[in-house]
Amino acid sequence: MNSTRSPRIAVVGAGIGGLACARTLQRHGHRVTVVERETSAGARGQGGTLDLHVDTGQAALRAAGLFEKFRALARAEGEEVRGLDPFTGALVHHEQPAEGVGNAPEIDRGQLRELFLDSLAPDTVHWGQSVAGVTPLGDGTARLHFGDRTTEDFDLVVGADGAWSRTRPALSDATPAYTGDTFVETFLDDVDNRHPALAQLVGKGTLAATSDRATLFGQRNSGGHIRVYASLHVPLDWHVAAGLDLADTTAVREHLLTVLEGWHDGLRDLIRESDGGFINRPLHVLPIGHTWDHVPGITLLGDAAHLMPPYGIGANLAMLDGADLATAVATHTDLDHAVRAYEKLMLARGEAAAQACAELAKALASDTVVNVEDARKQLNERLLRPQRTR
């Protein structure tokens, strides 16, 4: 972008997609403001570990100039995948790339977010500032409306505000729909000392076991932490129908153990011994091929643009979207041309990814896929390689 004045750019949302965008913009000498409704970087736990793929998440980190720092934090051994028979606990699938051979090392989401935050110019992120909406002003600029009723105008507003984006309504009427699957999440801490058998069971990466009633994931994070997800095919209000108070840890635990009746004891212990309460995460998606007529001054990235099931792609894509948008802004002389070029690339990529996720979901539902984690990895490999942008 070679205009006389640096454009005023606002990124809504300090998730990893928005931060990848902000960091890459700053790397190219652009000013950017990130507005985030959370009150501080530590206000909320950031969730589990992410495997970052060469052509997506890792490409974004390279564009952001953070790849070497990522390598220093990443856990190559975290690529281990174990598939267990739910009833016998026998290992039916095992993948452990030899040292230096794997290409999707794991990093804790919190560490990744911190990496981006530490790389930004001071005061880039305005914490505790909630966006209520955005309106195009008709002259190529857009107005951000904040929760406290104040407003601010920008040349470009980037909606990186996730599944329930407040930016998206300025571009499209689409709303996320429930997939029919819910993850119920819990965790175990200090596992090598306090839960050594479960530490052994899960190994260094991800464990998965599937029956027709549920899929259980155990995911090793850094710092002796294991994150556990029970994936259930249930109505959105499953807990109401079951008469459960989600804050009642004992009751939710008992319910899940009933769902996992007949499963191998070692696997059930992931729920029985959990240290945390349970977080209900119903999975939603945007329609495949979600798109909009271009509106000058406003665009979207990541989940705000193409929310899809959690098959190991969403965070990788959000980061790549952010890096691609910033790179387009830096390399075009006209801001609107840059955004149009980015949208063309990102929307096609998002549609292909959502389509592939839907195919995988169908295969999982029809039992033609036996190992969820393996299928997830293959999907990521297959999907994005041909769409390399750099």
Closest approach of ligand FAD to the CB of residue 317, in Å: 7
Closest approach of ligand FAD to the CB of residue 109, in Å: 7
Q: Does 155 bind ligand FAD (CB under 6 A)?
A: no
Which residues ranging from 39 to 68 are in contact with ligand FAD (CB under 6 A)? 50
What is the pattern of x (binds ligand FAD, CB under 6 A) and - over residues 98-137? Answer: --------------------------------xx------
Q: Does 171 bind ligand FAD (CB under 6 A)?
A: no
Among 315, 328, 338, 339, binds ligand FAD (CB under 6 A): 315
Tell me how far apart the alpha carbons of residues 83 and 175 are, in angstroms, rounded to a whole number.
Answer: 34
**Listed ranges 67-75, 148-156, 240-248, 313-321: which one lies at the site for ligand FAD (CB under 6 A):** 313-321
**Listed ranges 74-82, 270-278, 305-313, 323-331: which one lies at the site for ligand FAD (CB under 6 A):** 305-313
Backbone torsions φ then ψ of 97, nearest 5 degrees? -55, 140
**Listed ranges 75-83, 187-195, 287-295, 311-319: which one lies at the site for ligand FAD (CB under 6 A):** 311-319
Among 186, 221, 316, 371, binds ligand FAD (CB under 6 A): 316
Q: Is 79 exposed, middle or buried (0-12, 13-18, 19+ CB in 10 A)?
A: buried
**Listed ranges 114-122, 134-142, 308-316, 359-367: which one lies at the site for ligand FAD (CB under 6 A):** 308-316
Closest approach of ligand FAD to the CB of residue 386, in Å: 18
Tell me how far apart the alpha carbons of residues 354 and 313 are, in angstroms, rounded to a whole number.
Answer: 9
Using CB under 6 A, count the residues that bind ligand FAD.
30
Tell me how far apart the alpha carbons of residues 52 and 43 are, in angstroms, rounded to a whole number.
Answer: 24
Closest approach of ligand FAD to the CB of residue 45, in Å: 12
Closest approach of ligand FAD to the CB of residue 287, in Å: 16
Q: Does 81 bind ligand FAD (CB under 6 A)?
A: no
Q: Which is nearer to ligand FAD, 260 or 313 (CB)?
A: 313
Q: Which is nearer to ligand FAD, 47 or 89 (CB)?
A: 47
Closest approach of ligand FAD to the CB of residue 159, in Å: 9
**Listed ranges 86-94, 232-240, 243-251, 300-308: which one lies at the site for ligand FAD (CB under 6 A):** 300-308
Residue in this structure with the two tokens 């004992």, named with its chain if needed:
250
Q: Does 280 bind ligand FAD (CB under 6 A)?
A: no
Angle at 43 between CA 38 and CA 45, to 5 degrees: 115
Backbone torsions φ then ψ of 231, nearest 5 degrees? -95, 120
Q: Does 218 bind ligand FAD (CB under 6 A)?
A: no
Tell me how far apart the alpha carbons of residues 30 and 9 are, in angstroms, rounded to a whole number.
Answer: 8
Which residues ranging from 223 to 242 are in contact with ligand FAD (CB under 6 A)? none
Q: Does 350 bind ligand FAD (CB under 6 A)?
A: no
Tell me how far apart the alpha carbons of residues 293 and 12 are, in angstroms, rounded to a whole number.
Answer: 20
- Give the sign of the dihedral formed by CA 236, CA 317, CA 359, CA 293: positive
**CA distances to 18, 300, 316, 384, 385 from 55, in Å:** 18, 21, 9, 7, 6
**Listed ranges 61-69, 79-87, 240-248, 299-307: which one lies at the site for ligand FAD (CB under 6 A):** 299-307
**Listed ranges 24-32, 93-101, 207-215, 306-314: which one lies at the site for ligand FAD (CB under 6 A):** 306-314
Applying CB under 6 A, the residues found at the interface with ligand FAD are 12-18, 35-38, 50, 130-131, 160-162, 166, 183, 281, 302-304, 310, 312-316, 318
